[in-house]
């Protein structure tokens, strides 16, 4: 048996000195329903800012308190290391220290490294976390110029094929059907690059992060003893951000859970922004169809943003409508500028005024659709001596200045003040987003950006880009035309 740590026993009524009443008193009515609905599958649609992480931690603490859950036999899965660590920290503070909280890749790495030698009499191959070098090598063998954008996009296509179980020989037809595009590279060339990458990877005797998930699927489907040990180890499951689950990850969930019913999935279809990588919100939305006796619950009370910000958010999405709990705040502002440089200057002037009014630099974020939109803003920030951090993974604390970055990278974060920049129709939606599904995802990106703000929100765009007239984003235009200030 794999050893994950000793099982701990918890008395009914208290856990870590925390009484059951204190756990429930901190929650609203809908959150309490999620916490107390145990012993059956639970699917939760949790809108932005509705206290999802707090609800999950209280659910686990309550189940441990009432003796309905063994923390050491519990697996909590999410999509980022930061989210997994936050769950562990919160649980430890509530006296529940032994829940395994991991990302999909971390959990798969741990299981694959342990079970691979048992199943195949050899060690798991080394994991190549960054595959850009091998992709560049594959491109060179095909005569493709390995520019950064091409390598990045082929990397994305490799991940999509693995997450959705698409074989290289199927790529051309399926990618064309889904209107996937790699700039300046034909579908046939991308398929060849995928094959060349796999060959380069085999020559180097390594696997990549996406392979980890496929390795564990293989272990659990072809090795009954491995499946028996894993299922004996885990009996209680929580899956966060379930709207971002891919077909392979959904298969993993089924294999881990088996016929157990103590499983809770949580997510928000309105925040599905990774479909290009294989994510499908249908696994969340139709969870009850696949799992009998599922209790389907919803969280709509927003504890993050002012009513003015939520008014904009609700106008953007046709999904869950958020209910404000905070008092009214400042109106949302909209601003058009003649050029990107003019927009950047206006943004920085606004940021400096906000800071002068008492907001810390680290409580401010500027967000855009693509990395290429950052140049003008970074230039003006530097000229005005405004501290900023464009990548929280860079050396140095993100508290050193205002924040990052793209709308995609903002997912799961929040700031007091948010400026959404470059919202022209030539940037949001992205020019390569042409199908109805792709356009819907671009609109969800705007929703994610709007719901990052707690108190102040500003939306801006240039009216000219590279000398060409451009309109405001089709997603922003109705909000702006409704009055300009909401």
- Residues 399-424: pLDDT tens digits? 578 997 999 999 889 999 999 999 99
Secondary structure in 3-state letters for the chain: CCCCCCCCCCCCCEECCEEHHHHHHCCCHHHHHHHHCCCCCEEEEECCCCCHHHHHHHHHHHHHHCCCCCHHHEEEEECCHHHHHHHHHHHHHCCCCCCEEEEHHHHHHHHHHHHHHHHHCCCCCCEECCCHHHHHHHHHHHCCCCCHHHHHHHHHHHHHHHHCCCCHHHHHHHHHHCCCCECCECHHHHHHHHHHHHHHHHHHCCEEHHHHHHHHHHHHHHCHHHHHHHHHHCCEEEECCHHHCCHHHHHHHHHHHCCCCCEEEEECHHHCCCHHHCCCCHHHHCHHHHCCCCEEEEECEECCCCHHHHHHHHHHCCCCCCEECCCCCCCCEEEEECCHHHHHHHHHHHHHHHHHCCCCHHHEEEEECCHHHHHHHHHHHHHCCCCECCCCCCCCCHHHCECCCECHHHCCCCEEEEEECCCECCCCCCCCCCCHHHHHHHHHHHHHHHCCEEEEEEEEEECEECCEECCECCCCHHHHHCCCEC
pLDDT at residue 19 is higher than 50 = yes
pLDDT at residue 17 is higher than 90 = no
What's the pLDDT at 414? 93
What's the pLDDT at 391? 61
What's the pLDDT at 393? 42
Predicted confidence band of residue 480 (pLDDT cuts 50, 70, 90): confident
pTM metric for this prediction: 0.87
What's the pLDDT at 316? 93
pLDDT at residue 7 is higher than 50 = no
In the predicted model, what is the mean pLDDT of the chain?
Answer: 88
Percent of the residues in the chain that have a pLDDT greater than 90, as a whole number: 66
pLDDT at residue 362 is higher than 90 = yes
Q: CA-to-CA distance for 327 and 72, rounded, in angstroms?
A: 41
The pLDDT tens digits of the residues spanning 297-356 come to: 999 999 999 999 999 999 998 788 999 999 999 999 999 999 999 999 999 999 999 999
Question: Looking up tokens 């204190």, which residue turns up?
Answer: 22
Predicted confidence band of residue 214 (pLDDT cuts 50, 70, 90): very high
- CB of 384 within 8 A of CB of 345? no
In the structure encoding, which two tokens stand for residue 60, read together? 């686990």
The pLDDT tens digits of the residues spanning 421-476 come to: 999 998 999 988 888 888 999 999 999 999 999 999 999 999 988 888 999 999 99
What's the pLDDT at 9? 35
- CB of 146 within 8 A of CB of 140? yes
The pLDDT tens digits of the residues spanning 237-283 come to: 999 999 999 999 999 999 999 888 899 999 999 999 988 888 899 99
222 phi, psi to nearest 5 deg: -110, -10
Q: CA nearest 114: which of 20, 34, 229, 18?
A: 229
What's the pLDDT at 93? 85
Q: CA-to-CA distance for 61 and 281, rounded, in angstroms?
A: 28
Predicted confidence band of residue 486 (pLDDT cuts 50, 70, 90): very low
What's the pLDDT at 278? 84
Predicted confidence band of residue 368 (pLDDT cuts 50, 70, 90): very high
How far is the CA of 134 from the CAs of 153, 155, 394, in angstroms? 14, 10, 24
In the structure encoding, which two tokens stand for residue 382, read together? 């530097």
In 10 A of CB 469, how many CB atoms?
Answer: 9
Strands 100-103 and 295-299 turn out to be: unpaired
pLDDT at residue 6 is higher than 70 = no
Q: Which residues contact 337 (CB under 8 A, 6 or more apart)?
A: 343, 345, 346, 460, 461, 462, 463
The pLDDT tens digits of the residues spanning 48-93 come to: 999 998 999 999 989 988 889 898 899 999 988 888 888 888 888 8
Predicted confidence band of residue 162 (pLDDT cuts 50, 70, 90): very high
pLDDT at residue 397 is higher than 60 = no
């Amino acid at each position: 048996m794999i050893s994950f740590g000793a099982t701990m026993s918890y008395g009914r009524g208290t856990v870590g000195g925390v009484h059951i009443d204190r756990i429930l008193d901190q929650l609203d009515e809908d959150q309490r329903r999620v916490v107390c609905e145990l012993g059956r599958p639970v699917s939760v649609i949790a809108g932005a800012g509705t206290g999802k992480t707090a609800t999950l931690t209280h659910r686990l603490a309550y189940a441990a308190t009432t003796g309905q859950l063994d923390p050491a036999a519990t697996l909590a899965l999410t999509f980022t290391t930061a989210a997994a660590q936050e769950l562990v920290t919160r649980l430890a503070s509530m006296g529940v220290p032994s829940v395994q909280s991991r990302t999909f890749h971390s959990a798969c790495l741990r299981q694959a490294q342990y079970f691979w030698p048992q199943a195949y009499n050899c060690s798991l191959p080394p994991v190549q976390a960054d595959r850009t070098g091998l992709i560049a090598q594959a491109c060179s063998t095909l005569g493709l110029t390995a520019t950064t954008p091409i390598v990045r996009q082929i990397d994305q296509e490799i991940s999509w094929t693995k997450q959705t179980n698409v074989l290289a020989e199927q790529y051309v037809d399926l990618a064309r059907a889904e209107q996937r595009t790699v700039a300046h590279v034909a579908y046939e060339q991308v398929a060849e690059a995928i094959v060349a990458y796999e060959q380069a990877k085999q020559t180097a005797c390594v696997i990549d992060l996406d392979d980890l998930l496929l390795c564990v699927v293989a272990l659990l489907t072809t090795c009954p003893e491995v499946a028996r040990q894993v299922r004996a180890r885990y009996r209680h499951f929580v899956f966060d951000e379930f709207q971002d689950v891919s077909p392979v990850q959904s298969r993993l969930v089924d294999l881990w859970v088996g016929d157990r019913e103590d499983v809770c999935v949580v997510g928000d279809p309105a925040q599905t922004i990774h479909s290009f990588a294989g994510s499908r919100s249908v696994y969340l939305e139709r969870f009850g169809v696949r799992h009998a006796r599922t209790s389907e619950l919803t969280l709509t009370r927003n504890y993050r943003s002012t009513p003015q910000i939520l008014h904009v958010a609700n106008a953007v999405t046709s999904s869950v409508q958020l209910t404000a709990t905070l008092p009214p705040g400042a109106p949302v502002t909209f601003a058009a500028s003649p050029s990107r440089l003019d927009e950047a200057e206006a943004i920085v002037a606004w940021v400096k005024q906000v800071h002068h009014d008492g907001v810390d630099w680290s409580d401010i974020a500027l967000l855009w659709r693509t990395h290429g939109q950052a140049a003008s803003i970074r230039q003006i920030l530097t000229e005005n001596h405004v501290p900023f951090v464009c990548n929280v993974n860079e050396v140095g604390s993100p508290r050193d200045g205002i924040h990052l970055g793209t709308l995609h990278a903002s997912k799961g974060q929040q700031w007091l003040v948010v400026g959404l920049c470059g919202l022209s129709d030539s940037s949001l939606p992205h020019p390569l987003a042409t199908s109805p599904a792709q356009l819907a995802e671009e609109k969800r990106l705007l929703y994610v950006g709007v719901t990052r703000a707690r108190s102040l929100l500003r939306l801006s765009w240039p009216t000219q880009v590279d000398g060409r007239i451009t309109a405001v984003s089709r997603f922003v235009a109705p909000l702006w035309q409704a009055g300009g200030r909401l």
